[in-house]
Structure 1
Amino acid sequence: MTQPFTLVVLGLSLSSSWGNGHATTFRALLRGLREDGHRILFLERDVPWYAEHRDLPDPDFCTLEFYTSLEDLRRYQPAMASADAVVVGSFVPEGVKIIDFVAAIAPKALCFYDIDTPVTLSRLDQGHEDYLSKRQIPLFDVYFSFSGGKVLDLLENRYGAKRAEALHCSVDPAQHFNTGEAIEWDLGYLGTYSSDRQPALERLLIEPARRLPDLRFVVAGAQFPDDIDWPANVERFEHLPPSRHASFYSRQRFTLNITRRDMIDLGWSPSVRLFEAAACGTAIISDRWRGLGELMPEDEAILMGDTTEEVVRHLTSLPETKRQAIAEAAHKRVLTAHTGRARAREMINAIEGTRPVLSHSIAVR
């Protein structure tokens, strides 16, 4: 039994899932940590955008508190100094200053959780250092990366990380499961608008909708421009809170997974939506990137959709028994290896690995 840890986490948002994928990622991870008895203080910058769209203002799996500025954050200095680890997330406002502040406290373990690794490295190479500076990467005892594979070697060998560990996003099975509702849509997509994902959405959902007017499609997500020409058979939802994700996925025959360009370029970067859909027993059609087959083998647990024609063929020609078998294979994989509790144990094991004295006295699960 692992000795319970006390963690302080500074992240972009836990309280609001509006327009970001961080909240659901943190929620699954922190729930998993709490299930294993760990205690978490989550510190979130109080900003108007998230304050106006909070769908989890009072979580039951951690203590959530808000701060208004770096100066205000100083009141949590004693908690950071006594914690077993302090974890700073990507895209935290004034992240560079906050990392310097936390590093000066000299916590027992200082970690970074990059939920945007490909984006982060691209920004750093372009000289953008708003939430992380290149000089700060060697400060972390563990650099937890949303992306795995060759990205970990890149972090250690090019950017000087002491230890880079993959910590993919995950899913909470208590929140994401098949609801048993009747199928309403043949193909759906859930995701905030992104200009680099939009061409794939046009090719893999909007154009198939035009070619298959008798089938039903759905797109849920915020910030889509008003000038998009949605076909009449594409239903739109502006925003779906996480509490409605299970119902949304359960009512689809297939769901579409689309990956941002930076993540395709580096590979090994699964979206949280991939795991959510699989946990709900929905068959997934995905764009192609390196490392995906290691998580979900092609034609066994996932279908590839590189072109409009491929998506049309999946929607119109795949036998129902094959669709169900693919969905079930993905479901089993996710519940075995990609739950929040599984990720929590990966995180704790990595942190323990930075403390050799403790490793002799603590039995790791």
Structure 2
Amino acid sequence: MRIAFFGSSLVSSYWNGAATYYRGLLKALAALGQEITFYEPDAFDRQRHRDIPDPDWARVVVYPATEDGWRHAIEEATRGADLIVKASGVGVFDEALDLAIVDLASARLMTIYWDVDAPATLESMAADNNHHLRLAIARYDLVLTYGGGDPVVQTYRKFGARQCVPIYNAVDPDTHHPVTPRPDYAGDLSFLGNRLPDREARVEEFFLRPAQMLPKRRFLLGGAGWESKPVPANVTIAGHVGSGAHNAFFCSGSATLNINRESMARFGFSPPTRIFEAAGAGACILTDAWDGIDEFLAPDQEILLVKSAEDVVRTIETLTPERARRIGEAARRHVLDQHTYIQRAAQVMKVMNLATNGKEAAE
């Protein structure tokens, strides 16, 4: 199958948290015999902050971030594809792309809307009766999501989606694995995530406030946008951490913290890429509590749950190196056994084949 995929970026993780999700899934789909072309706009300086060269398992087309640019990209994709995927959060001309691609659906060409931030998308649709996806989503052959579980599935179905299936984050063992620690990433607790409006208050509660309460401990804050954020003296701001340094970031400290964005925490069942990346590297992970975590990792045995700044403080104060190592190793074994991208890709192929068969039967 020839798949044209319109997303934010495959080659750059700069202001692009979905990059490793795209890479893991599309690399695995290519390994299963699919022909991948990834279309991404030349926007937000991502091409100047590439993490990887064009991979050998996908063709990458970078188009100008203009109306002519996306129109020409769609024209090219239409000529050669059996399936066109529009991911959410491309960043420029999203609404125009959403509407233009759904118009391409035909007996020959299948269309998929792939939502990498479903809780936020659904909340914006619920708040706006004129949201363009309220009419468009029912015309896509299939909706796939980054996560969200039954709450996201049921809400998308209420908006008219023919079928909605969560395809969760996972681990690519070739990419996410233990490495030699780096002294500049050492510390008692690290956090990696870009500074975003619906994340910042939770970073203040689960990361910066514990740092204030533990002035003798070392904290490391990675991700774009934090340079102007006032932080306690014991917090080191690492700035943007390219995907090639993620393993070292997770391996070098005593523990690493996952903080879900507010909308994802409300919906639950939305494990972000960072959890699987950190688990693949064998890190001891703390996560803010959200519904569904036990479907991916076992609390207290493979991941540690925290519900407040005080929980973070207590966990850091009592966490021994031996326990941290034991938790990290258990998490790594679990994700390598049950949560790999090749397993997710097999799920995608099954869902797409079912959707294709159903479409042919209806026609």
User: In the TM superposition, what is the alpha-carbon distance from 1:126 to its structure 2 partner?
Assistant: 2.3
C-alpha separation in 1, matches of 2:236 and 2:260: 21
Corresponding position of 2:87: 89
CA contact (8 A) 1:96 1:129 kept: no
1:143-176: CA deviations, max 9, x gaps? 00112222112211x1111010011223322111
The separation in 2 between residues aligned to 1:133 and 1:154, in whole angstroms, is 13
- Amino acid in the other structure paired with 2:241: L
SS of the equivalent of 2:188 reads strand
- The answer for the alignment partner of 1:247 in structure 2 is 248
Structure 2 residue aligned with 1:201: 203
In the superposition, relative to structure 1, how do residues 190 and 78 fare at CA in structure 2: closer, same or farther (>3 Å)?
closer
Distance in 2 (alpha carbons) for counterparts of 1:325 and 1:55: 31
Over the residues paired in the alignment, what is the CA RMSD in angstroms? 2.3
Report if the CA contact (8 A) 1:17-1:24 is conserved.
Answer: yes
**Residue in structure 2 matched with residue 362 of structure 1 by the alignment:** none
User: Deviations for 1:93-121, whole angstroms, at most 9, x for unmatched residues?
Assistant: 22332233223333532101100000101
How far apart are 1:76 and its partner, in Å? 4.8
Where in structure 2 are the equivalents of 1:265-276 lying within 5 Å?
265-276=266-277
Name which of structure 1's ranges 61-70 and 261-270 shifts more when overlaid on structure 2: 61-70
CA–CA separation in structure 2 for the residues paired with 1:186 and 1:41? 41
Give the deviation of 1:90 after TM superposition: 0.1
Q: How far apart are the structure 2 equivalents of 1:48 and 1:216?
A: 32
Structure 1-normalised TM-score?
0.89
- Between Structure 1 and Structure 2, the one with more helix by share is 2
- Residue 286 of structure 2 is matched in structure 1 by 285
Residue of structure 1 equivalent to 2:126 = 125
Who is 1:363 aligned against? none
Q: Which residue number corresponds to residue 232 of structure 1?
A: 233
Letter of the structure 2 residue corresponding to residue 159 of structure 1: F
1:37 equivalent to 2:37? Answer: no
Q: Name the CA distance, whole Å, in 1 between partners of 2:312 and 2:100.
A: 49
TM-score normalised to structure 2 length: 0.89
Q: Cα gap change, 1:102/1:258 in structure 2, threshold over 3 Å: closer, same or farther?
A: same
Residue 13 of structure 2 contacts residue 51 of structure 2 at CA under 8 Å; is this kept in 1? yes
Per-residue deviation at 1:74?
3.5
1:206 positional shift: 2.0
- Distance, in Å, in 1 between the alignment partners of 2:68 and 2:321 is 58
In structure 1, C-alpha distance between the alignment counterparts of 2:54 and 2:286, rounded to whole Å = 35
Q: What is the rounded CA distance, in whole Å, between the counterparts of 2:85 and 2:54 in structure 1?
A: 20
Alpha-carbon separation, structure 2, partners of 1:57 and 1:145: 26
Using the TM superposition, give the Cα deviation of residue 23 of structure 1 relative to its aligned residue in structure 2, in angstroms.
1.6
User: CA, structure 1 residues 123+321, in 2 after alignment: closer, same or farther (shift >3 Å)?
Assistant: same
Partner of 1:352 in structure 2?
Answer: 353
> What displacement does 1:358 show?
11
CA contact (8 A) 2:179 2:248 kept: yes
In the aligned structure 1, how far is the partner of 2:43 from the partner of 2:200? 28
Query: Could you tell me whether the CA contact under 8 Å between 1:169 and 1:271 is conserved in 2?
Result: yes
1:174 maps to amino acid: D
Structure 2: segments with no counterpart, 5+ residues: none
Letter in 1 for 2:136: Q
Pairing partner for 2:23 from 3, 23, 27: 27
Deviations 1:271-293 (CA, angstroms, capped at 9, x unpaired): 11111111111111111111112
1:134 is paired with a residue whose SS is: helix
